[in-house]
Amino acid sequence: MNDTAFVSTGQVGRSLPRVEARAKVTGTAEYIHNFRLPGMLIGKICRSTVPHGRIRHIDTSAAAAIPGVYAIVTGEDIRKIIPDPYYGPAFHDQPILALDKVRFVGEPVAVALAADPHIAENAARAITVEYDELPAVYDEVEAVTATAYVHDVLKPAGTFADLKHLVGRRQTNVALDFHLRRGDVEAEFAAADHVFAHEFRTQQVMHTPLEPFVSVAEAANGAVTIHTASQNPSFVRVEIARLLGLKENRVRVRTAFLGGGFGGKLYIKLEALVTALTLIAQRPVKVSLTMEEQFFTITRHPCTFRIKSAVTKDGRVTARKCEVYYNGGAYADIGPRVAQKSGFAAAGPYDIANVHIDSFETYTNRPPAGALRGFGTPQLVWAYESHTDLIARALSLDPVEFRRRNLLRDGRPQATGTVMRDAPLAAVLERAAAAIGWGQPFDRGSGPVKRGRGIAIGFKASISPTASVAIVNLSGDGSCTLYCGTVDMGQGSTTAMAQIAADCLGIEAETVRVIAADTDVTPYDMGTLGSRSTYHMGLAIQRAAADAKAKLAALAAELGVPEGTNLPIAELFRRKYGAQAGNIIGTGSFMPSHKSPDPQTGQTDDATPYWMSAATGCEVEVDTETGRFRILRLVNVADCGTAINPRIVETQLTGATVMQLGFTVYEGMEFTDGQLRNPSFAEYKIPGIRDMPARLEGEIVTSRQGGGPFGAKGVGESGTYAVSPAIANAIHDAVGVRISALPITAEKVYRALREAAGNPLPED
């Protein structure tokens, strides 16, 4: 079937208000946060106080003696009902509750259950745990050679063929090493006019969805139901079924609206824990984390990136070597996928003949890291766009012109060998440059206050291959229900998917009812992640709608209705069944083609179904006497193919921009000896309304994604790619100093200024 043959009937491209907005403004929208069951117990978690240690003894007696406590549960109790209680999407390395060992401060060790949350909380505090501390490792580069090992043996999940070679590996903290080789970088470095080498770092940050992680489980008659704020219920179902030795049809996983996700609520978070607890307690159990506890659950990878480029006199990059170390924390989660799937794009959106990439996912004694709006991409763009800017400045080339000269054009192979298609990188770069007024004179400030401008561009491949399945159900009155496992965590998928279905069926989007992910009724979807849903689920819906239309046509033919009669659907049903009765069920599924990269060279001619790109322009004002800076303008331009709902796309774009602004200038998890010092909103500052740049703009470059539904592609992450380096580049432009480690703070700028003046501040 030719997916692009669909001609829009006008529902796609409408900026209609979100279909669930009324529920959200009246306080009636359903969140798992609100969900309660009769007889429900609340679980509160006792967490590890040491970064790495053997558990010597857990004393639960004082806690169990507190009136109102139902039970205290430890990892050993769980092992009695789930013999191998380890989970994870890439490695089966994470115990439901710590077993034998703890690997980071904040790791769940035991749970207190009580009907009253305050009693459960007091009881969790009354549990005492003794540890024999072990040497720990925190840094992603040190982890590669350290002799402190976070895991005794690597346990990759069977699902990924490319991790098989890691089975049983001991004495290593490297959970995945990805390599890409194209051409000969060393020869090029030896012959080059110029060689530049730099190192950049990013810090550990957290998604902080305003609805903290929450899951509820109940069990009866050999089946389990999990109500959970999850971005991928289908995965949760498969993984829980595996842990319990059940068939998938005995596990039901349902979601509601999510109060934010951003990649945090993926894979297993609390679902295995509440399942084990309900099986032990024989009562429904809810665990809802506090904002503090979220920091001990999943985070964004800190990253060290060593980058080296060979450049000709006239500003062509001919070779690039990238060494990327991702700090995955104590459990792999989806980190190996971050290291590989983002790793292959580490050299940036440039046409470089010789590329050498080594990308490592490391274990350390920190809270685990996984997906956060970009799957490792913002860390990469931070490095390669800072590096690119430094090169342009060193060669006295205009930074935009330098990028223009090297940009990867459609039809040219990316470093994997996959040919770039439908990625309007040049248009994105030019639009951002134009929007910020690049090349035009501007007020460079006066006295101690200086102004500067910066630009950066990033790209990302869609993670592949992944599958989506959709069902379109037409009822006796002709109304349409869409069963789709895409989870609406705020990105607006309910609205966008309704628009796609409606457009295909030639009805009003507002009339389509979208059923929230519930594995008992919604079919398989790999997950709401990596900006994949619009494309993958969108295509599945298109196919489901086409299937329903074909069945309608068959029904019409069966009833002898001449083609082109345009009889209302309800009338067809009435003629068939003699009443308002019956259904037509259309199904559709989509999975793109894909070829695994060669394990030695990372080469493949089919790495991804589509590329996403974004460029950011920034203007800053820096006070050279204090290092304080103000972002005057931040313009983010992204390519989204065809916008299904332009207003929603714009909100996604500015929302992502502001989130990444937080990761650039405010946020950072601060540790001393593995102890997190700032796990609360009081100490970990996310951007508030007064932290917005004086001017914040989001623009979309409309293009057409070949193969995408109505030419659309995902855009949820794009706004995060290029924000950080654009800001650093603007600061450099203003005052001539380079910040190479995130977050960029006034103190760092001031220190750099003093250093540049030959008068460095003493370290404190």
Partner 1 sequence: MSSPVEVRMIVNGTPRAGRCEPRKLLIDFLREELGLTGTHAGCEHGVCGACTILVDGVAARSCLMFAVQADGATLTTVEGLADGDELHPLQQAFHRHHALQCGFCTPGMLIAALDFLATNPEPSEAEIRDALSAVLCRCTGYQNIVKAVADAAEKMRAAGGAS
Residues in contact with ligand FES by CB under 6 A are 210, 260, 490
Nearer to ligand FES, 580 or 680 (CB): 680
413 burial (CB, 10 Å; 0-12 / 13-18 / 19+) is middle
Give the DSSP H or E segment for 547: helix 533-558
Among candidate residues 251, 268, 260, 282, the one with its CA nearest the CA of residue 215 = 268
Q: Which is nearer to ligand FES, 260 or 452 (CB)?
A: 260
Closer residue to partner 1 in complex, CB, 275/664 = 664
Angle, nearest 10°, between helix axes 569-577 and 533-558?
50
**Residue 106 near residue 295, CB atoms below 8 Å:** yes
Measured between alpha carbons, how far is 750 from 180 in angstroms, rounded to an integer? 38
Answer for which of 1, 54, 65, 68 binds partner 1 (CB under 8 A) is: 68
CA separation for the pair 12, 501 (Å, rounded): 9
C-alpha to C-alpha distance for 305 and 171, rounded to whole angstroms? 24
Give 191 or 210: the residue with its C-beta nearer to ligand FES: 210
Residue 28 contact partner, candidates partner 1, ligand FES, none, CB within 5 to 8 A by sort of partner:
partner 1
Minimum CB separation of residue 205 from partner 1 in Å reads 12
Q: Collapse the DSSP code of 80 into the 3-class scheme (helix H, G, I; strand E, B; otherwise coil) and give the result.
A: helix
| Site for partner 1, residues 107 to 146, rule: CB under 8 A | 118-119
DSSP designation for 733: H
Q: Inter-axis angle of helices 425-436 and 399-406, to 10 degrees?
A: 170
Dist. CA 692–CA 125, nearest whole Å: 39
Residues 318 and 188: beta-carbon distance below 8 Å: yes
Q: How many residues bind partner 1 (CB under 8 A)?
A: 59
Query: Is position 148 an interface residue for partner 1 (rule: CB under 8 A)?
Result: no
Find out whether 638 and 654 touch, Cβ atoms under 8 Å: no
Selected from 9, 10, 17, 625, the binder of partner 1 by CB under 8 A is 17
The nearest distance, CB 616 to partner 1, in angstroms, is 13
Report, in Å, the least distance between residue 260 CB and ligand FES. Answer: 5
- Kindly tell me the burial class for residue 64, based on how many C-beta atoms sit within 10 Å of its own C-beta (0-12, 13-18, 19 or more): middle
33 or 595, CB closer to partner 1?
A: 33
489 binding partner 1? (CB under 8 A): yes
Q: Which of 207, 311, 312 is nearest to 264 (CA)?
A: 207
In the set 4, 8, 13, 31, which binds partner 1 (CB under 8 A)? 31
Strands (E), 354-493: 354-362, 369-370, 445-446, 449-461, 468-475, 480-484
Say whether residue 24 binds partner 1 (CB under 8 A): yes
Q: Does 211 bind partner 1 (CB under 8 A)?
A: yes
Question: DSSP per residue over 311-362, as a string?
Answer: E-TTS-EEEEEEEEEEE-TTS-TTHHHIIIIIGGGTT-SB--SEEEEEEEEE
Tell me: does residue 442 bind partner 1 (CB under 8 A).
Answer: no
Please report, as residue ranges, which positions from 672 to 711 form the binding site for partner 1 (by CB under 8 A): 680-682, 686, 688-690, 692, 696, 698
The binding track of 263-292 with respect to partner 1, each residue x by CB under 8 A or -, is: ---------------------------xx-
CB of 490 to ligand FES, least distance (A): 5
Nearer to partner 1, 609 or 655 (CB): 655
CB-nearer residue toward partner 1: 479 or 654: 654
What's at 371, amino acid-wise? A
Helix H or strand E segment including 41: strand 41-47
Which of ligand FES, partner 1, none sits in contact with 690, Cβ below 5 to 8 A by type?
partner 1
Residue 251: its H or E element: strand 251-254
* Only segment of 190-198, 244-252, 256-264, 389-397 that touches partner 1 (CB under 8 A): 256-264
Residue 257 interaction partner, one of partner 1, ligand FES, none, beta carbon < 5-8 Å per kind: partner 1
| Per CB under 8 A, 295 contacts partner 1 | no
Q: Which does 579 bind (CB under 5 to 8 A by kind): ligand FES, partner 1, none?
A: none
- Report the distance separating Cα 735 and Cα 369, nearest Å: 34
Contact letters for partner 1, residues 623-662 (x by CB under 8 A): ------------------------xx--xx-xxxxxx---
Q: Which is nearer to partner 1, 116 or 598 (CB)?
A: 116
Q: Which entry of partner 1, ligand FES, none binds 282, CB below 5 to 8 A by partner kind? A: none
| Residue 38 binding partner 1, by CB under 8 A | no
Residue where the block lists tokens 């207190």: 112
Which parts of this chain interact with partner 1 (CB under 8 A)?
A: 15, 17-18, 20-29, 31, 33-34, 36, 67-68, 118-119, 207-212, 257-262, 290-291, 489-492, 647-648, 651-652, 654-659, 680-682, 686, 688-690, 692, 696, 698
